[in-house]
């Protein structure tokens, strides 16, 4: 039973980390402008000042971006983001962006505190509620497809193809197909191939080496649209350089770091 609980918890936050990148479509201009140029503290302050659902959702996105790009895992940063995202859902219960960011934040918290502590703090249940709410508010899009892809790959990576398939009907091949659909829907989005590359690297670096390299090259070929995407673009370049050098250990360490695992 403990194995099944671990599979469920890891599958939940695998989904969260990929849906994190969903763009704010209706945020207040001032808050979004600050986020776009990388002034995350400014975006947080402006969003809290405006205190609308959209501006608070952008503030939450800025807070989690700040946490993801932090040199080391920052639980304090994520707790701050959690509080902002929770206020965003209260300000506008029908804004899917707020729930997406809340779910992503909870996923990153889980990676830092571990599965046991996360379950004690009710993090997986809160995350599942946020995911379900997001799905109820909007149609499928590249981010949802990416999340489905990540879920399938993560479950198989955690429990193996037999247990993941029998208990959860998960399949690495299904995950790859979902990611492929996401890329087809939005081929110029650098975040989707980048996240796909991270998932495959953690799942089977040796077996998926060529595909990972192609995905990183695709992410690098796309033009970043904001400061956060610029940072991920640089990370993709770092990973591709490590691959070119044949530095397997360095590559996998970098993947774990970029995914938010404590060293």
Task: Select the more confidently predicted residue: 129 or 174.
Answer: 174
Tell me what the mean pLDDT of segment 229-247 comes to.
98
Top pLDDT among 18 and 87 is at 87
- Quote the pLDDT of residue 106: 85
How many percent of the chain have pLDDT more than 90?
Answer: 52
Q: Where are the alpha helices (DSSP H) in 121-171?
A: 123-137, 142-168
Instruction: Note the pLDDT of residue 257.
Output: 92
| Cβ neighbourhood burial of 245 (10 Å; 0-12, 13-18, 19+) | exposed
pLDDT at 10: 56
More confident residue, 113 or 210: 210
Spatial distance between the Cα atoms of 240 and 179, rounded to a whole number of angstroms: 20
| Greater model confidence, 70 or 104 | 70
pLDDT value of residue 160: 76
φ and ψ at 35, to 5 degrees?
A: -60, -45
> What 3-state class would DSSP assign to 161?
helix
Over 50: is that where the pLDDT of 248 sits? yes
* Residue 198 pLDDT: 94
Q: How far is 13 from 234, CA to CA, in rounded Å? A: 24
More confident residue, 91 or 103: 91
CB atoms within 10 A of CB 75: 15
CATH of domain 1-138: 1.25.40
Residue 4 predicted with pLDDT over 70: no
**How many CA atoms lie less than 13 Å away from 245 in the CB half-sphere?**
11
Q: What global pTM score does this model have?
A: 0.81
Q: Is the dihedral of CA 42, 44, 47, 51 positive or negative?
A: negative
Q: 189 CB contacts (<8 Å, ≥6 apart)?
A: 142, 183, 222
pLDDT mean over 144-165: 74
pLDDT at 263 over 80: no
Supply the pLDDT for residue 61: 93
64-73, 74-83, 138-147: lowest mean pLDDT where? 138-147
pLDDT value at position 22? 43
Question: How would you classify residue 189: left for phi > 0, otherwise alpha for psi between -120 and 50, otherwise beta?
Answer: beta
pLDDT at residue 121 above 50? yes
Asked if the model's pLDDT at residue 24 lies above 50, the reply is: no
């Amino acid at each position: 039973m403990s194995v099944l609980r671990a599979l469920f918890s890891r599958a939940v936050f695998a989904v969260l980390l990929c849906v994190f990148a969903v763009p704010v479509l209706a945020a207040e201009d001032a808050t979004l402008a600050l986020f776009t140029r990388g002034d995350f503290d400014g975006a947080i302050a402006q969003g809290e000042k405006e205190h609308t659902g959209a501006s608070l959702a952008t503030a939450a996105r800025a807070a989690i971006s700040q946490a993801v790009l932090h040199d080391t895992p920052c639980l304090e940063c994520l707790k701050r983001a959690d509080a902002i995202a929770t206020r965003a859902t209260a300000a506008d219960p029908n804004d899917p962006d707020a729930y997406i960011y809340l779910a992503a934040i909870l996923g990153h918290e889980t990676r830092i505190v571990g599965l046991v502590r996360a379950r004690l703090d009710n993090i997986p249940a809160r995350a599942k509620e946020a995911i379900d709410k997001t799905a109820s508010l909007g149609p499928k899009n590249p981010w949802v497809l990416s999340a489905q892809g990540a879920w399938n790959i993560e479950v198989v990576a955690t429990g193996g193809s037999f247990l993941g398939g029998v208990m959860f009907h998960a399949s690495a091949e299904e995950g790859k197909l979902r990611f492929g659909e996401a890329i087809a829907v939005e081929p110029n989005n650098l975040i989707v191939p980048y996240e796909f590359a991270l998932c495959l690297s953690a799942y089977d670096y040796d077996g998926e080496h060529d595909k990972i390299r192609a995905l990183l090259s695709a992410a690098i070929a796309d033009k970043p649209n904001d400061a956060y995407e610029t940072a991920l673009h640089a990370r993709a370049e770092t990973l591709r350089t490590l691959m070119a050098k044949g530095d397997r250990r360095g590559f996998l360490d970098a993947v774990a770091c970029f995914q938010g695992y404590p060293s």
